[in-house]
Chains A and B, each alone.
Chain A
């Protein structure tokens, strides 16, 4: 069974640029959630996708957007990057039920200069 994978591992961008992060969900999972983890902090929920539609969103501006594809993989897009967007971006996949645990990928480390 393949776990959650994310790409790229590391990324360096400059302010104002746009970035796309990718996530492949674990086999059998149909829900993908994205989190932002700033240095020394706990992860913060960005949004969740289920059946290719956004299913919930945290307190992040519209320049954070996403997609989910028919194979349940997902993308996180961030436009107009700001210095404060520097963080570890974590993807988690799970089934549809509340009791279905979220399993996390290794993350993408984004640095904005």
Chain B
């Protein structure tokens, strides 16, 4: 079946450091891929998405490229801020089921 695997956290970085959170997926067909962010005590906010191979999603300095050949959708940011501290979820939305499959989440802590 379809699945999403994320790198385990927590990831602790200093402010202005480069961020990479790895995400790989297994899916049949041509899924859409998403990154959501969850701040403490809140629901999920869409960070970015990509709906086909080689698409790049971007938002608020975050980027991720849909790589079909490596079945990956890694999240990157060039310079993190303390306010980026949150849990990040990679998700897959596949045809036919309309449900999203989420990874287990990666907690990011950015230190001033």
Residues of A within 8 A of B (CB): 4, 6, 31, 33, 35, 40-45, 48, 55-56, 58, 88, 90, 92, 98-99, 101-107
Contacts and interface: CB of A to CB of B under 8 A. Distances in A.
- The size bracket of the interface on B is 20 to 34
B45 interface: yes
Interface in B81-108: 89, 91, 93, 95, 97-105
Interface of B: 4, 32, 34, 36, 42-46, 49, 51, 89, 91, 93, 95, 97-105
A56 B51 contact: no
Main secondary structure of the interface of B (DSSP, over half): strand
B99 A56 contact: yes
Contact of B100 (A45, A105, A107): A45
A99 B43 contact: no
Nearest to B105: A42
A101 B101 CA distance: 13
A99 B100 CA distance: 12
B95 to A, nearest CB: 5
A33 B93 CA distance: 12
